[in-house]
């Protein structure tokens, strides 16, 4: 069995693959202050709840946008699972050519998403990850990673309204019933959710114009469900995209050994 670990700024996605089948998934809140032993104990508990013995995990694949946690999860895999994880970083085979000015600066999470979407849905593609940041990743007709766009995430936008204004409250992010808010909370929800839908639609439109062709649009990330229904261009929502990408990259590099 393979353990896939995607460490983000806000959440950590974990998944266990039995062969090619994703059998279990968990989402944890990212805690930069947790130690190797704390994460190891938590992982042990999660596996135990599914009646999975640690000995059944024979491999691990890791991508992280939080450098200190990349080191910690390396140690977790070595100490608690007895395996050395494949870490998605420059030099790892991904099957996707990165056509960027500096390929090394592209986040591992973006490459992992692109690899999974390309495998599952073909090309050309626009992959949108609604996480701490909202990222747009573009795969060409030839399967090359062309780059994309990065915008502040929905959660960041909401928190900024609370922290940078004197009178606006911290709100729950939920889909508003209408654009015209009848109170402060519903007005903020309208501005954030519908405003974000407009942002995403406009960037999709511009990317397609630059590509000169239609492209399939795939969404992932924790906030995708909030805005996807308002964006007709989004054809697929796959919350496990990063885990699938990690599995594919692991198998690619395993075969190349």
Three-class HEC string of 189-251: HHHHHHHHHHHHHHHHHHHHHHHCCCCEEEEECCCHHHHHHHCCCEEEECCCHHHHHHHHHHH
Q: Which domains does the chain have, with CATH numbers?
A: 2-87 (3.30.420.40), 103-239 (3.30.420.40)
Beta-carbon contacts of 22 under 8 Å, excluding residues fewer than 6 positions away, are 15, 16, 240, 243, 244, 247
Q: Average pLDDT across each block of 10 residues of the chain; the chain has 257 residues. List them in order.
A: 95 96 95 93 93 93 95 96 94 91 91 95 95 95 94 92 90 91 94 94 96 95 91 95 97 78
For 145, counting Cβ atoms within 10 Å of its Cβ (0-12 exposed, 13-18 middle, 19+ buried), the class is buried
Catalytic residue set: 109
**How many residues make up the chain in this entry?**
257
CA dist list (Å): 24 to 2, 52, 123: 11, 10, 28
- Look at residues 132, 113, 125, 123 and name the one whose alpha carbon lies nearest to residue 234: 125
Please list the alpha-helical segments (H only) found in the chain. 36-49, 67-76, 108-121, 154-163, 184-211, 224-227, 241-255
pTM for this entry: 0.92
3-state secondary structure of 133: strand
Q: What is the pLDDT of residue 24?
A: 95
């Amino acid at each position: 069995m393979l353990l896939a670990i995607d460490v983000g700024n806000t959440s950590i996605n974990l998944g266990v693959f039995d062969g090619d089948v994703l059998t279990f998934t968990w989402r944890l809140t990212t805690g930069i202050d947790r130690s190797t032993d704390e994460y190891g104990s938590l992982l042990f508990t999660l596996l135990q709840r599914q009646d999975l013995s640690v000995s059944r995990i024979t491999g691990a694949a890791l991508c992280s946008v939080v450098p200190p946690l990349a080191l910690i999860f390396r140690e977790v895999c070595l100490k608690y699972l007895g395996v050395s994880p494949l870490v998605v970083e420059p030099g790892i085979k991904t099957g996707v050519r990165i056509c960027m000015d500096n390929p090394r600066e592209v986040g591992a999470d973006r490459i992992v998403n692109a690899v999974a979407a390309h495998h599952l849905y073909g090309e050309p593609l626009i992959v949108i990850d609604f996480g701490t940041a909202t990222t747009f990743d573009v795969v060409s007709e030839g399967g090359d990673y062309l780059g994309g766009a990065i915008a502040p995430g929905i959660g960041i936008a909401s928190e900024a309204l609370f922290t940078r204004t004197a009178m606006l409250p911290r709100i729950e992010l939920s889909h508003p019933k209408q654009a015209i808010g009848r109170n402060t909370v519903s007005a903020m929800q309208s501005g954030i959710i519908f405003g974000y839908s407009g942002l995403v639609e406009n960037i999709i439109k511009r990317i397609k114009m630059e590509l000169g062709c239609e492209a399939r649009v795939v969404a992932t990330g924790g906030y995708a469900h909030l805005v996807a229904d308002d964006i007709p261009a989004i054809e697929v929502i796959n919350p496990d995209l990063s885990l699938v990408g990690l599995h594919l990259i692991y198998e690619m590099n395993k075969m190349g050994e």
